[in-house]
């Protein structure tokens, strides 16, 4: 179970991590990493260089990333990296509440707000892997209550919804409009 996270970092991390998928500003990324280090220090834990690098790679990605993709990136930096190295770092980051595991696609993404003690609802783009966190406690509570009323117990704290993000919707619409045949032109006789 996660412990309460420092409320003082709310505005800092939100601005530090507010970026479009795949686009990370150097200062924002560095600010997020600094906040993560402070958070770990407050919990009496250490964000080791390997853990920090895995978190940095996830920040750079800006979307859900599979562990073996992270391993490939780690091997470019640390050629001797092995799967347990990345998985141990991910286990730590998960336990610390710094990342989420997206069960439906077996990938990981950075938690967008270190100050949230409760899990939100994760919306995952099935096309590009972009993940949006919805922090709507009342909506989540109502959903969990409905699930329990139906006789189920959630297997994990995260609730995942699948969808298509606005960027992928726009790309799909643009692609389909290019494929449409031109309307026939009536020729006057």
Annotated binding residues for Fe cation, written as ranges, equal 119
Token reading at 69: 């993709």
> Helices 83-96 & 49-61, crossing angle to 10 degrees?
80
Buried b / exposed e over 69-104, threshold 16 CB at 10 Å, is ebbebbeeeeeebeeebbeebbebbeebbbbbbbee
Q: Which residue has the tokens 């940095």?
A: 56
Q: Which residue has the tokens 């970092």?
A: 9
Q: What are the phi and psi torsion angles at 110 (to 5°)? A: -70, 140
Task: List, as residue ranges, the binding site for Zn(2+).
Answer: 125, 128, 165, 168
As a whole number of angstroms, the distance between CA 127 and CA 10 comes to 30
Task: List, as residue ranges, the binding site.
Answer: 119, 125, 128, 165, 168
As a whole number of angstroms, the distance between CA 33 and CA 174 comes to 37
């Amino acid at each position: 179970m996660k412990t309460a996270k420092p409320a003082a970092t709310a505005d800092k991390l939100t601005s530090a991590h507010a970026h479009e998928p795949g686009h990370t500003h150097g200062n924002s990324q560095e600010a997020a990493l600094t906040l993560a280090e402070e958070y770990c220090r407050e919990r009496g834990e250490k964000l080791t260089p390997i853990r920090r690098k895995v978190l940095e790679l996830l920040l750079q990605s800006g979307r859900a990333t599979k562990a073996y993709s992270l391993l490939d990136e780690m091997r470019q930096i640390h050629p001797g990296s092995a799967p347990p190295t990345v998985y141990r770092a991910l286990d730590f980051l998960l336990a610390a509440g710094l990342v989420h595991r997206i069960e439906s696609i077996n990938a990981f993404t950075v938690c967008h707000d270190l100050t949230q003690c409760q899990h939100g609802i994760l919306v995952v783009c099935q096309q590009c892997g972009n993940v949006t966190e919805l922090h709507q406690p009342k909506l989540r509570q109502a959903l969990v209550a409905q699930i329990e009323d139906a006789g189920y117990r959630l297997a994990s704290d995260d609730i995942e919804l699948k969808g298509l993000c606005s960027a992928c919707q726009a790309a799909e619409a643009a692609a389909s409009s290019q494929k449409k045949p031109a309307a026939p032109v009536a020729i006057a006789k």
